[in-house]
Amino acid sequence: MSGTKRSEDQKIARMRELGRILREASRAYYQQGSEIMSNFEYDALYDELQALEAKTGLVLSGSPTMEVGYEAVDELPKERHAAPMLSLDKTKDREALRSFIGERRTLVSWKLDGLTVVLTYRDGELFKAVTRGNGEIGEVITNNARVFLGLPLRIPYRGELVLRGEAVISYPDFERINAELPDADAKYKNPRNLCSGSVRQLNNEITAQRSVRFFAFSLVQAPGIDFEDSHEKEFEWLAKQGFNVVEYRVTDADGLDEVLDWFSRKVGTWEIPSDGLVALYDGIEYGRSLGRTAKFPRNSMAFKWKDEVRETKLTEIEWSPSRTGLINPVAVFEPVELEGTTVSRASVHNVSIVRSLALGPGDVITVYKANMIIPQIADNLTRSGTAKIPEICPVCGGRTAIEAENGVETLHCTDPDCQAKKIKAFTLFVSRDAMNIDGLSEMTLEKLIGAGLIHSFADIFRLDEHRDKIAQMEGFGERSCENLLAGIEKASHTTLPRLIYGLGIPNVGASNARVICRAFDYDPERISSADAEELSMTEGIGPVIAQSVTGWFADERNLDLYRELLKLLDVERPRQDESAPLAGKTFVITGSVSHFANRSEAKAAIEAAGGRVSGSVSAKTDYLMNNDSTSGSSKNRKAKELNIPIITEEELIAMLGEDV
C-alpha cells in the first residue's frame, strides 16, 4: 500500500473517530445536561474534523459538521419548523471577520447563550412558541413562553408574524436560583443549562419563577411591512412591537475594531450570558441572494471570543462528596490571572474528563474562562495521567464505585451512612424554612454526627439524653450545650409544612410543602398515604412532584422516620379564622398593580386576611384581580368562561377593609 493511500486511510479513520467523539459530547450536553469535555476541547476537535473534510473533500454520513443539534426529547409536543434553522459559520479571527464584512453595512450583535425559540403571532396575539430542537423539529412551549420577560403577549401588528429569538437567564438570576437550591447536586452548572430546564418545564409557574428573558434576533416574516431592504429596520420595528431586541452596533470593515473592542469591554460586566457575537449583512435582498451551504446561511457569521489562556501547574485533584453520594473532582492549581480575576480552582465535572485530560499532580495545564466567566481546563501539556481515582470516600472511608451512564463515568460513595450525605440532608432539615433550629450549624452537625450522637433526624430531638457528653465536646461547654438544647426544644413546636419541607423530598420546596399541607387539611396521615393521582390533582402540584412525594413515603424507612418525628414533635395545626375578611376565598392575581408595591405584596395581604392565592384560574377560583378587566389575556378569558368575578385592585382593598 502506498504512503499516500495509507495517509488518506488514516485521515478517514481519524474523521470517523472525531465524528463519534463529537456526537457523544453533543448528546451528553444537549440531551442529558452533562459534559464529557470542555468547550475548548470540543471546538478544537470540531475544527480538526472540518479541516480534514476540506483536505479530503469527503464528508462522512452523520458528520457533526453537517448536523444541526440533536432530536428534541419527548417531554413536550414536537413540531416541524416551516424552514430549517441553520447554525452559523464561525471564526475567532478578527481578520477573517473583517474579510467577511468587507465594505458591506453590517449589524454586529450579541450571540446569546441560551435556548433559541421561534414565535408565531396571529391577529396580534402570541399563537405558538417552538424551541429550535434539532433545527428541523422542536418542542412546543407556548404556555411557558407566555411568562418570558421581554415577550409581549399582544402586539399592534395584526398579520402573521414569525420571528426568532433567544430565551436566556441572567447571571444574577442564575446565582439566585442556585443559591435557593438546598441540594448541591441539584445546582445547575451554567445559566444555559438552567434556562433549558426552565423553558421546557411542564408547569409554567416554575418558568415564571426562573425569570427567563427573551431577546428577538431575527424576523422571519411580517407580510405587508416595508423594511426598506434593511435588517436594522426590522430590529427597530420589532422594538416598536414591544420586543426586547438583541443589542447591536452597525459597522463595516473599517470600523470593526472599534465595535469589537466595545463589545469586548462590556462582556465582562454584562449580566446576560453571551458566547460571542453575530455579524449580519444589513441588506436583506443581498443576503438572500447569497443563499446557503448545507449547514450555514451565507449572509451572517459568528465571532467567538478568543479565550484568554494561561499556563499553570496542577497541584492536586480534590474529590468533594455530596449529599447524593456523587464525588466531584475539582482541579486545584497555582493561581493565575484570567479576565481580570485570580483563579486557582476549576471543576473537572466527572471521571471521564479527568481521564481524557490525563491529569496528575504537577502537570502543566492551560486554563481559561468559558464565555469569559467559568474557569475550565483547556489542555494538559504534560499528560502524566497519575491522578488517583479514590477507592475510599474522603469523608466516611466507605468504598467508592465508578458508575457509567450515557457514556459518562462518575464516582460515587457506596456507604448509605456516609456523613457527607447526612450532613447535607441535616443542614436542610434544620434550616430556617424547615425546622429552624438555632445554633445547629453544618459544622456543629458534623461534630455531633462524627461523635455518633445523631443517626437520624429524630435523634436531634433526643440530644438532651447526651447533655453531659455534648458539654464536654470541643467547642461546646455548659452554656453552648444549654443554648443548643433550648433551640431544639423551641423548634420541636412546629408546623407541618416546615416538617414536610425539612424531610428533603426531591422537588418539594417550602412553597410546595405549604400547598400540599393546605390541600390535605394539615393531616399528616392523609399526606403520607395519598396516591400520585390524588396529589397531582392538587392545584400547583404536577405529576413530577406527586411521584416524588409518593415515592418518598413508599420507602418504609422514610415512613417510619416520619411517624417517629410526629411522636417527638408538637405539630401545630392551623385553625381557620372564619371571621377573617377573606377566609376560604381563592384569588388569582394578574397584570400590573399600583397601590401595592408588587403582586407579591398583594398576595401577602390576601393570605394575611385568610385568603388563598393560586397561579391559575380554575373552577375553584373565587376572584381574579386584574386592573384591566377588558384585557384579552388567557386568565381574563378563562374567568369570563367560568363566570368568575374580575375585580380591580381598589375592590380588593375594599374587601380587605382598608382605605384606598
Looking at residue 464, the DSSP 8-state letter turns out to be G
DSSP codes joined into one string, 210-226 = TT-EEEEEEEEE-TT--
In order of 331, 358, 378, the CA distances from 362 in angstroms are 11, 12, 16
Torsion over CA: 306, 312, 313, 318 (sign)? negative
Coil, strand or helix: which one is 524?
A: helix
Instruction: Kindly report the number of other CB atoms within 10 A of residue 449's CB atom.
Output: 18
Long-range contacts of 21-30 (CB under 8 A, 24+ apart): 21/45, 22/46, 22/49, 22/64, 23/62, 23/64, 23/67, 24/407, 26/64, 26/69, 26/70, 27/70, 27/406, 27/407, 28/406, 28/407, 28/408, 30/69, 30/70
Residue 92 appears among annotated catalytic residues: no
- Grid cell, residue 254, equals 473599517
Q: Residue 68 has which C-alpha cell?
A: 444541526
- What is 467-514 written as a DSSP string? HHHHHTSTT--HHHHHHHHHHHHHHTEEEHHHHHHHTT-TT--HHHHH
Residue whose C-alpha cell is 453533543: 26
Identify the bridge partners of residue 281 per DSSP, sorted by sequence position.
106
150 exposed, middle or buried (CB, 10 Å; 0-12, 13-18, 19+)? Answer: middle
Coil, strand or helix: which one is 56? helix
Q: Which of 385, 520, 497 is nearest to 434 (CA)?
A: 497
Are residues 321 and 411 in contact, defined by beta-carbon separation less than 8 angstroms? no
Determine the distance from the C-alpha atom of residue 492 to the mean position of all C-alpha atoms in its chain, rounded to a whole number: 35
Contact 247, 97 (CB under 8 A): no
Distance CA 307, CA 235 (A): 30
Would you give the end-to-end CA distance of the chain in angstroms? 92
Secondary structure (3-state) at 269: coil
> Concatenated DSSP letters for 323-374?
TTSEEEEEEEEEEEEETTEEEEEEE--SHHHHHHTT--TT-EEEEEEETTTE
| Candidate list 5, 55, 90, 111, residue with the active-site label | 111
The residues, any chain, with a CB within 8 Å of residue 64's CB and separated by 6 or more, are: 19, 22, 23, 26, 46, 49
Catalytic positions: 111
